[in-house]
Amino acid sequence: MSKQDFVNIQNLSEDTLLYLIRMAQEFEKHPNRELLKGKVVATLFYEPSTRTRLSFETAANRLGARVIGFTDAKVSSVSKGETLKDTILMVSNYADVIAMRHYIEGAAQYASEVAPIPIINAGDGAHQHPSQCLLDLYTIHQTQGTLNNLNIYLVGDLKYGRTVHSLIMAMRHFNPTFHFIAPKELAMPTEYKLYCKSHNIKYVEHTAFNSKEIADADILYMTRVQKERFSDLMEYERVKNVYRLTNDMLADAKPNMKVLHPLPRVNEIAYEVDDNPHAYYIQQAKNGLYAREAIFCYCLGITLDDVLNDKTI
Ligand code: CP
C-alpha cells in the first residue's frame, strides 16, 4: 500500500481539501480523542517555529500519540554532518509519521521520496506551507461560510511568504479573485502569476495599501516581511515597514471581512487592530490544531467515518 504524504498543496483535489475541512470541523467539536493511541509522531524542525510545531505536537497529544523530535538541528547529529537522507531514515525507524520544517525548498519532497513513512511538510524555505494552507482554508470557510467566489487580498511579502504561495494553489478550485498588494521588491513571483494564468485564477496587482484599495475584500491576508530570506539586509531595512494595518484603514471594510495573518507579526498589524471585530488571526492560529489533527489522520489512514464513529470521546 502506498503511503500518504502531505507535502504539496497542489496535489490535493477539491474533494480531498473539503474532506479534510470536514474532518477538522469534527476535531473542533471534540479535539481530545484516542485515535492515534500507540503511534509515535516525530517533529523535526530545522527552522524556528511557535505555532506550527506546537500545534502539531498538541494535535498528536490530543489524539493520544507520543511525540519525539528536535526544535533545533544543532542539537542533533546534523551538527556532525549527518545528511537529511540519513536523518529521515533514522527517524523513520522510530516514528510512524514525520512533520518537518526545513530551510531548503523541496526538502520535504525529497524526504518523502526516501522515507518509508508519511512526511508532512511544515514549511520548506520560501516554497510551501501546506498545513498552514489547510488551516487558512478552514478559517476562510468558517468565517465566510464558503470558499467560493471570494475577493482575497494578499498583503506584504509575497515574494518569500510561503503561506500565500500555497493559498493561491489551493484556491484554484474555488474561483477566487486575488489582489496582490506588495512593493515591487516583494512582488508575487512570476511562477505563481503564471500558475494563476494557467488555472484561470483572476488576480490584480497593487502597490498602494489603503482603505479604498481594500474596500471590497472578503479576506485581508497580511504577511510579515521575511527577514531571514534576505541575502541583503539593507534591502530588508528598506522594505520592512512598508505596510502597516491600522484601525482607520478598516473603516470602509465589508461587515464580514476578516483580517488573517499566518503569524508571527512584526509591525504589519498595529496592536489596536486586535480588538477590531475584523481581526481573526488569533482564532486562525487556534484552527491550526484542528487542521493538523485532520492531517495526522489523513496520513495515518484514519478516515472521516473513523472520526464520526469514534467512541473514545
Ligand atoms: N504560521 C507559522 O508558520 O508560524 P510559526 O513559524 O510560528 O510556526
Per the CB < 8 A criterion, the answer to whether 184 and 207 are in contact is: yes
Residue of 47, 57, 121, 132 to test ligand 1 pocket, by largest number of atoms within 8 Å of CB: 132
Residue nearest to atom 1 of ligand 1 (CA): 262
The verdict on the CB of residue 226 being under 6 Å from ligand 1 is: no
Atom of ligand 1 at shortest distance to CA of 263?
1
Residue nearest to atom 3 of ligand 1 (CA): 52
The verdict on the CB of residue 292 being under 6 Å from ligand 1 is: no
Per-residue pLDDT tens digits for 28-46 = 999 999 999 999 999 999 9
Per the CB < 8 A criterion, the answer to whether 178 and 202 are in contact is: yes
CA distance 88 to 93: 9
Q: Indicate the CATH number of 9-128+289-304 among 3.40.50.300, 3.20.10.10, 3.40.50.1980, 3.40.50.1370.
A: 3.40.50.1370
Domain map (residue ranges) of the chain: 9-128+289-304, 130-285
Per-residue pLDDT tens digits for 241-268 = 889 999 999 999 999 999 999 999 999 9
Question: What pLDDT was estimated at residue 238?
Answer: 84
The verdict on the CB of residue 130 being under 6 Å from ligand 1 is: no
Asked casually if ipTM beats, i.e. exceeds, 0.85, the reply is: yes
Distance (angstroms) between ligand 1 centre and the Cα of 256 equals 25
Q: In sequence order, which residues have a C-beta less than 8 Å from that of residue 69 and are 6 or more positions away?
A: 42, 43, 44, 45, 91
Atom of ligand 1 at shortest distance to CA of 52?
8
Burial of 121 (0-12, 13-18, 19+ CB in 10 A): buried
Average pLDDT over residues 173-182: 98
Share of the chain above pLDDT 70, in %: 100
The verdict on the CB of residue 76 being under 6 Å from ligand 1 is: no
CA distance 103 to 229: 9
Per the CB < 8 A criterion, the answer to whether 154 and 178 are in contact is: yes
Question: What pLDDT was estimated at residue 1?
Answer: 62
The verdict on the CB of residue 71 being under 6 Å from ligand 1 is: no
Take residue 27 and report the three cell numbers written for it.
476535531
Per-residue pLDDT tens digits for 58-87 = 999 999 999 999 999 998 999 999 999 999
Residue nearest to atom 5 of ligand 1 (CA): 49
User: If pLDDT is split at 50, 70 and 90, which confidence band does 2 have?
Assistant: confident
- Pick the closest to residue 246 from 223, 275, 218, 208 (CA basis): 275
Atom of ligand 1 at shortest distance to CA of 262?
1
Distance (angstroms) between ligand 1 centre and the Cα of 268 equals 16
Q: Indicate the CATH number of 130-285 among 3.30.70.890, 3.30.530.20, 3.40.50.1370, 2.20.25.650.
A: 3.40.50.1370
The verdict on the CB of residue 51 being under 6 Å from ligand 1 is: yes
